[in-house]
Structures are given as structure tokens and as C-alpha cells.
Structure 1
């Protein structure tokens, strides 16, 4: 009887810790110009593991990636890591190049569909671009994310860069990328959002 109870405890403990979250992103998540262990996805993994939320956070982010690059890489990543959750943080490089919002939306839709078809749950992160691209384009780009969230019934995670931009010393000289000092804040910010999603998915 004790042996059966012990096996049950191990089984439920493994289930609680067994979830894998994969972050599919660009330089904002890849640990741009810093050791990968200092990047926010690595720091988030440590926090979520300590809270018993996940077993692993896979940082599948590459600096410079567009939604198209992510789409090309995604099938192999899903096959390799078989994540329970995919957090999509892509689109900034598309927007900075002035690509069509329709193309960006199409690629993001395919990223969501492929992830869901693999059995993963999906969350998408809001992305913003600088206002110098013009009010019309900036709004069309920004609107992609909440619209997809509503249409595809997936969680939308707010963009973490607002506080980074407003906090002195947290932004690199290029005006686009967070420094190493900002990574713990970003890790906590995203972890708080993911914790709610992980807890709610456990209850379903």
C-alpha cells in the first residue's frame, strides 16, 4: 500500500513539474549581446521551476528572426521539444522593416495553428514598434496582436518593453534592446503572466 502511495505521489509530482514552455522569439528574448544564462527566459525558468510550475523553459529565440523565420523553424522545434506551451514573441523585425501587416498576421496565424496542431497551448506577446513609422502603420501593426488573440481565443501577454524604455540605464544605446540589468524584471513580468496561464490550464 505504501509503495502504491509513493508511486502516486511521484506521478502527480512529475505532472506538476512536467510542463515545458517554449519561447519562440527574436533578439528581445534571445539574450542579445549577453550570455544566454542572463536572458529573461533562462531566469524565468528558474523562477517557474522554484514555484513548481514547469520542468523546462526552452529559449528558441534567435536575434534578427522575423515571423517568417520563426515559421520555417517551428516544425522542427515542436518535434524536438514537444512543448506544452508556446509563447510567441515575434514581429518586431517584420515591423521595423515595414512589412505588410497582412503578411505578419498570416505568418503569426500559421505559427499559432502549427503549435496548436502539435497539442501545445499558445500565448502571444504584444509587440510595439517606434512611432516614427507613422501613425497609420504603427496602429495597423499594433492591432494585429489583440485581434489575433480575440479571433483565435489565445492569451495576449502585454509588451514588457514599456518599463524598460522608461527606466534609465535599462536600454542599450541602439534604443531597441534591453540590457542585462533589465532581464530580471522582464523574467518576473512574463513569469507572473505565465503562472496564471499554467495554473488555469491545470484546472481544465
Structure 2
């Protein structure tokens, strides 16, 4: 009996230790802006990943309005609490909308990547764009932050899902910035398709 209990306990510990947790650190694009959180794409992501034989627990730590600076200050406690295997960083849109200097955004992203790596997690970066009305010079400089950081810090870079959504006006809210609930299943499938290559 004792031997059986020991075996069951060892099996439980092994299963728990091998579980994969993905922490999503994002802004309103991932936080379920103006919709129930259950409809937001991160909530739909585990099912999409399961279709590709990946069992992943998703922790959505996204907060509307967050900048890369906010994410940097919040990440240490999130890493300690959830001990994720992976951290998907979807931040920078609010920095861009506020016209923050690209070099500050770059420093914050690199610092978050370093924090994630130090915790034992694998960071993954999502490309972010700002609207073209900010001018080509700023928009291009902002866009270039992400491949530069990914190459410099040795992390995977996945595409910005909004570029595939914004071309369908019926999927966008009246503010022209946030996807509607109807777009969330597509986003979950799109992100899963790119994310699965790096898990």
C-alpha cells in the first residue's frame, strides 16, 4: 500500500512538474477590452493549442492601458507567482500611441526578456506596430524595435495579429484600435499557429 501511494505521489509530482504554463503579458489587445474575459483570445488559446497537440495552461496577465514600463514593473511578481515555462510579451502599443522614444521601449523589452530568462522561462516577443498617421519616420523606427530586440536578445518573434484583423472593418470596434469579440476566435487560431513553433 505504501509503495502504491509512493508511486501515485511520484506520478502526480512528475505530471505537475512537466505542465507547461504560458504567461501572457499584454495590454488591452490581450485583456479582452470591453468584453467578458472568457471571450478574449488568450482564454481561447489553450483549445487552439490542444488542436496541435500542445497542452498549455494560459495565464492572462494583460491589463488595458499598460505600457512596456508597466509590464516591466509587474513582471517580477508574476514570474514568482506563476512560475511560467514561457512568457509572451505583447506590449508597446500604448508606448507608441503616446509617442514614447523607441530607445526607451527597446530597453524595457530587453529588461523584461532578461527577467523572464533569469526566472527560467522562455520569453517570446510579439511584433507591434503603431498607426501610420504617426509618420513614417516614427512608425518605421518603432517597428524596427522588435526584430532588433529579438535578434539582440536571442528570442523568438511572432507577427502582430492586429494586422490580419484590421483589414476587416466588421471585426474592429468603432475606435479603430480594438478587435471585437467576433475577431477573438480568429486571433486565438492565428497566435496558436505561430506560437506552437516555439513551444
TM-score w.r.t. the length of structure 2 is 0.91
SS across alignment from 1:122? strand
- Which residue pairs with 1:175 in the alignment? 176
User: Displacement of 1:39 after TM fit?
Assistant: 0.4
**Which residue of structure 1 aligns with residue 155 of structure 2?**
154
In structure 2, the residue matched to 1:193 is: 194
SS at match of 2:23: strand
1:73 aligns with 74
Post-superposition offset of 1:12? 7.1
> Could you tell me whether the CA contact under 8 Å between 1:20 and 1:57 is conserved in 2?
yes
Partner secondary structure for residue 139 of structure 2:
helix
The question of 1:92 aligning with 2:97 is answered: no
- Residue 15 of structure 1 and its aligned partner are, at CA, apart by 6.2
Give the Cα separation in 1 of the matches to 2:164 and 2:52. Answer: 25
Aligned length in residues = 194
1:112 aligns with 2:104: no
- After TM superposition, give the deviation of residue 47 of structure 1 in Å: 2.6
**Could you list the runs of 5+ residues in structure 1 that have no partner in the other structure?**
199-204
1:13, distance to aligned residue in structure 2 (A): 6.0
* Cα deviations by residue, 1:36-92 (Å, 9 ceiling, x for unpaired): 000000000233246542341000000000001111110100000000000000000
Coordinate RMSD, CA, aligned: 2.0
Distance of 1:150 and 1:74 partners within structure 2: 22
Offset at 1:167?
Answer: 1.3
Instruction: State the TM-score, normalized to the length of structure 1.
Output: 0.88
SS at match of 1:166: coil
Report the Cα offset of residue 152 of structure 1: 1.0
Secondary structure of 2:183's counterpart equals: helix
Give the Cα separation in 1 of the matches to 2:117 and 2:46.
Answer: 22
Q: Following TM superposition, by how much is the alpha carbon of 1:163 offset from its aligned partner in structure 2, in angstroms?
A: 1.7
CA contact (8 A) 1:91 1:127 kept: yes
2: CA distance between counterparts of 1:55 and 1:9?
19
Query: Is it true that 1:101 corresponds to 2:102 in the alignment?
Result: yes
For the 8 Å contact 1:49–1:56, the answer to whether it is kept is no
